[in-house]
Amino acid sequence: MESIKIILKWSGKEYNIELNENDNVVDLKKAIEQHTGVRPERQKLLNLKLKGKSPEDDCKLGQLKLKENFKLMMMGSREEDIVEANTAPENMPNVVNDFDIEEEEIAIENQEVYLAKIERRIKEYNVKVLNQFRPDKKLLVLDIDYTLFDHRSTAQTGAELMRPYLHEFLTDAYEYYDIVIWSATNMKWIEEKMKLLGVSTNPNYKIAFYLDSLAMISVHTPKYGVIEVKPLGVIWGKFTQFSSKNTIMFDDIRRNFIMNPKNGLRIRPFREAHLNRYKDDELLKLSKYLKDLAEHCNDFTTVNHRYWEKYKPKKGSLQGR
């Protein structure tokens, strides 16, 4: 009887699971529970497919024709984590889990060693353009986890974990911006998430391309040591129609845009989707901000994006001229 070796990816870790071809999906889910503590009914196996659909529980693993060491991606939470999330204190302040990195603290964006790393990424990193750029559009670069999607909570469908107004936000932004997704994960995971959320197939907007963790660089900060960041210079070096003047990046972690502090906007993280999906309107408000920038600002670096909620463009004029 032929054995089947699977590498489960969940919550930033990998688990080796070995079953045989006569075991079924239920057996796989039980094995996953033994390794992770996530009960079968909480497991969402993202890329386990039979003829394009999720297999039934009694489906034999041999029918799935899995390659050896198939990497299986799962979403789901342990019971104790769900209980903890549901017992969050009332009136809890909006806390951002991030390093307190101030632009003036760490002047690294022009350091030669990091500019050299960016040059290497420009030369070596291969960007797969999914949809062609359009003339005279600005550039919007978006993170995924906690920006567009609560990737740690459990749910039956991706729609339950999606940030409210996501598709409306992307549709509105697409009128003025070409859109790029940049996540600190691997490309396969990005593609699966975009399918799960219905982003890659939505007819109302198009994503220009995805960037993964391989496009990032490591920098050393005096206070926090080595951190991984997303330098926009990689994009600007490859696509010269974009620059600091017409690019904005949304991320829930400020350190990700430490190389381009004047082009980053730290979005409030979207966590605990089951508690917050009916009251989070961050993307709705940011849609207006993006429209105002596109229509009234010629140079995005002249605006302090930390105070985006207070931004009032001067009508009939272009800021940053």
DSSP string for residues in 253-291: -GGGGTTSGGGEEEPPP---HHHHTTT--HHHHHHHHHH
Nearest of 264, 239, 230 to residue 133 by alpha carbon:
239
Q: What is the pLDDT of residue 110?
A: 56
Extract the tokens encoding 213. 């963790």
163 and 298 share a domain? Answer: yes
Q: Domain boundary residue among 62, 78, 94?
A: 78
- For residue 217, the model assigns a pLDDT of 94
Residue ending a domain, among 22, 53, 78, is 78
One domain, residues 45 and 171: no
What global pTM score does this model have? 0.70
On whether both 280 and 160 belong to a single domain, the answer is yes
Helices (H), 41-111: 79-86
The pLDDT value recorded for residue 105 is 40
Q: Are residues 19 and 138 in the same domain?
A: no
Same domain for 292 and 222: yes
Do 128 and 274 fall into the same domain? yes
Q: Computed over its alpha carbons, how large is the radius of gyration of the chain?
A: 21
pLDDT at 101: 52
Structure tokens at 38: 């996530």
pLDDT mean for each 10 residues of the chain (321 residues): 88 89 94 91 85 88 91 80 48 42 49 86 96 97 89 65 91 98 93 91 97 93 82 96 97 90 92 75 95 96 95 70 54
Q: What is the per-residue pLDDT for 10?
A: 84
* Block residue for tokens 């272009």: 318
Write out the residue range of the structural domain in which residue 10 sits.
3-78
| 62 within domain boundaries | yes
CATH number, domain with residue 35:
3.10.20.90
Looking at the fold, whether 142 and 249 belong to one and the same domain comes out as yes
Domain contains 167: yes
Domain with residue 303: its CATH number is: 3.40.50.1000
Domain count, the chain: 2
